[in-house]
Chains A and B, each alone.
Chain A
């Protein structure tokens, strides 16, 4: 082959690769196989499994704004909490239909995302970080003060969630709750996957890589960021609603700084900006937390801290980043 032909074939390969990137690879189905297997293998751990699924959806929504659009937030629990309280209040006041509850919770959370984003996304860096934190703190304090509505520090009592689709009752073993979570998180994953592979999703990556250049190619950067912030807020709201419906309880903790921070840590452990970081980081963190808490009930926080430290030092891109680096090294070998 002449060098020109080689160049042409390489270029053509690049065009081909780009047009194929959004196609589903088999390995992307792995989390769902694992979720199905866990249902049969660990029947005693289904409530933990449901919590893991809720946090996967929550972390996935965080990945959309942090990993793709590069918006660092310490207050993502604001939207999770708004969703949880929305679904909780609906179910406590006579409307326990779960699916419409999720939809309403997602809408309310995305409205809060749109309204707060319209203000805070005009800032950047440390100011933005502090504002995200402040909004979550303000909401938590508001929920605390409005005790007559939210139950305050005691939590929201008296939720009655109806059977899913009018058929599947939430049972004591958490089977329905688990499968309901699998279904909702699966749909959330499909939507997020669509989004990141869409032209809009690529422009978010562009904003993360170089905001100045995005302005220079005529991209409405603020509008793009506000759009993804609104979508991610809605998705976080659905995650919160899922927690409320499956546990039939909402506490102030859903709006807490700890929740915002922990989900960030889980995502960082898994890998940011790769769509599947949530699917690795969340189970790893929560299962480790569960194990450590049993082995060493007093100092389990220390072991989690150590895990995070190792990730930050040895795997800057999280587990997925480490995996990518290793496969690249492997591919370079003759």
Chain B
């Protein structure tokens, strides 16, 4: 029990990725606790999306280690990390655009339940998959859109489908890559509400530009600058820190 309490939902140790002489991630030590509401911020080109891609396995690190629930997953492919409870959403909608909303979620649930490799039984006869997909859509207020093709939905609704697909994996760690990107400000509230209602034991890492959203959702913030961690702290500490103001908040104030 004591040992379990010591492990983190997600941990990176001296994580480094370089392309030639350019280090896009340099020695990132990062820890995400169970039930965390953690934000990763930083100016454009700070390496936030690179960090997400390293953690999910879309990119191979040059050195360092990634641990999920205390287990080293650095050498594992993406699919194996997902099986261990890691899910992500994308900054730009990455959905099955030609399929219905409910089928988008069905695909994720089918993979989680391990039925997706079935060559014989009709997919639609898996009532458990279809019904839990529908329950997920109801939870996010998307039930009405269930039969519509994703590409027919407004962008803001598609952002919710992004979340629904990731949540269909029932993750322990969820990486949200700019969940409100491209959403009109009038609809950001819906997305914040959905995120606020996520299970308390889910470890959440939010990569975001929108400071309102960060201060509403995050209890810890890590600031990334030029591929390295500048500082980590509570929202108050971060907003008071002069270095952060200089590299990040100051830049925001100008725009």
Contacts and interface: CB of A to CB of B under 8 A. Distances in A.
A215 B147 contact: no
Nearest to A217: B108
B124 A203 contact: no
A17 B98 contact: no
A210 B150 CA distance: 12
Interface in B107-135: 107-108, 110-112, 115-127, 129-131, 134
Nearest to B142: A11
Interface stretch (B34-42, B86-94, B247-255): B86-94
Given A13-B147, A199-B117, A212 B90 contact: yes
B160 interface: no
A213 to B, nearest CB: 5
Contact of B116 (A7, A18, A19, A203): A203
A217 B90 contact: no
Interface stretch (A26-34, A132-140, A190-198): A190-198
B82 interface: yes
Given A198-B120, A198-B121, A201-B123, A215 B95 contact: no
Nearest to A195: B119
A7 B137 CA distance: 11
B94 A11 contact: no
A333 interface: no
B187 interface: no
B130 A19 contact: yes
A202 B90 contact: no
A200 B103 contact: no
A14 interface: yes
B188 interface: no
A15 B165 contact: no
Given A212-B94, A216-B87, A15 B146 contact: yes
A18 B169 contact: no
A21 B124 CA distance: 7
Given A194-B120, A217-B169, A18 B107 contact: no
B120 A11 contact: no
A41 to B, nearest CB: 35
B111 A210 contact: no
Contacts of A215: 58, 78-79
Contacts of B118: 198-200
A20 interface: yes
A68 to B, nearest CB: 12
B123 A197 contact: yes
B99 A206 contact: yes
A172 to B, nearest CB: 41
The DSSP consensus for interface residues of chain B is: helix
A203 B147 contact: no
A22 B122 contact: yes
Contacts of A198: 118-123
Nearest to B57: A215
B117 A200 contact: yes
Contacts of A200: 116-119
Q: Give the interface centre of A194, A201, A210 by most chain B CB atoms within 10 Å.
A: A210
B144 interface: yes
Interface in B145-184: 146-147, 165-166, 168-169
B127 A19 contact: yes
Contacts of A199: 110, 115-118, 121, 123, 126, 129
Interface string A211-224: 01111111111001
A306 B67 CA distance: 59
A18 B103 contact: yes
A195 B103 CA distance: 17
B138 interface: yes
B116 to A, nearest CB: 5
B96 A15 contact: no
A200 B126 CA distance: 13
A20 B127 CA distance: 11
A82 to B, nearest CB: 23
B131 A220 contact: no
A220 B82 CA distance: 11
Q: Give the interface centre of B118, B121, B124 by most chain A CB atoms within 10 Å.
A: B124
A197 B123 CA distance: 6
A150 to B, nearest CB: 34
Given A7-B144, A15-B102, A216-B87, A22 B110 contact: no
A327 B152 CA distance: 18
B100 interface: yes
20 contacts: A8-B143, A11-B134, A11-B144, A14-B147, A22-B124, A194-B122, A195-B119, A199-B118, A202-B123, A203-B110, A206-B96, A209-B95, A209-B98, A210-B95, A212-B58, A215-B78, A217-B111, A218-B80, A219-B79, A220-B79
Minimum-distance CB pairs A-B, first 7: A218-B82, A22-B122, A14-B146, A14-B147, A209-B96, A11-B143, A7-B144
Interface of A: 6-8, 10-11, 13-15, 17-22, 194-195, 197-203, 205-206, 209-210, 212-221, 224
Interface of B: 56, 58, 78-83, 87-88, 90, 94-100, 102-103, 106-108, 110-112, 115-127, 129-131, 134, 137-138, 143-144, 146-147, 165-166, 168-169
